[in-house]
Amino acid sequence: MSAPRRAVDLRCCLVTSGTGDRAVETAARAAAAGAGVVQVRAKEATARGLMELARQVARAVAAASPRTRVLVNDRADVAWALARQGEAVHGVHLGQDDLPARDARALLGPRALIGMTAGTLPLVRRAQDLAGDIDYLGAGPFRPTPTKPSRRVPLGVGGYRDLVAASALPIVAIGNVRPDDVPALAATGVAGTAMVRAIMAAPDPAVEVRRCLAGWSVPQD
């Protein structure tokens, strides 16, 4: 892996959707506008399909912004294979049913960026035991989302305060987050926000990324 651990800006993370050119183009435009992380997610893709998509995204993002970190969703093996080939892939984001974090760390090495989904207070507390192996926690949903249906009650702004208080690991809010939500979320102490539809479906993804980043500097009463 090519990037030092923890050298990452989590304020605006793009989670891609789809497997076509739109995903690649949007990732590049988001990176050029300042997104610190692009997570390549394509639940419908085969391992080989995901690998090829992540390869294209990694190359497009590296050309647009070498500082932006590219993660593969769920598949540590795909991230490892691409990094081994010299592609600019920096790690993986794991779900609760994916390869255990310690095994992912052993596979990807000490410099990889590893995130993990932990959307409830018990999961956040349990994840603290993995602080040596993971770098941040993705927590949600912030509000109901059609992109990734969940049976969990949406956290809303207030729900993140308890998660942040319980975690030594940075928390990234996800789940139908929009740029207008960022100032209130930032005030809870989360380290970042992850967006899917707000950026992927935008007429100009760069505008939404810049709006997201601007939200981190808006003072809250």
Per the annotation, where are the binding residues? Answer: 39-43, 73-74, 98, 117, 145-148
8 A C-beta contact, residue 90 and residue 71: yes
Q: Which of 29, 27, 31, 35 is closest to 54 using CA atoms?
A: 27
Distance CA 121, CA 171 (A): 12
**What is the phi-psi region of residue 210: left when phi exceeds 0, alpha when psi lies from -120 to 50, beta otherwise?**
alpha
**What is the phi-psi region of residue 66: left when phi exceeds 0, alpha when psi lies from -120 to 50, beta otherwise?**
alpha
Q: Name the amino acid, one letter, at 107.
A: L
Dmax over CA atoms of the chain, in Å, equals 49
Tell me the binding residues for Mg(2+): 74, 98
Give 2's contacts (C-beta < 8 A, 6+ positions apart): 83, 88, 90, 111
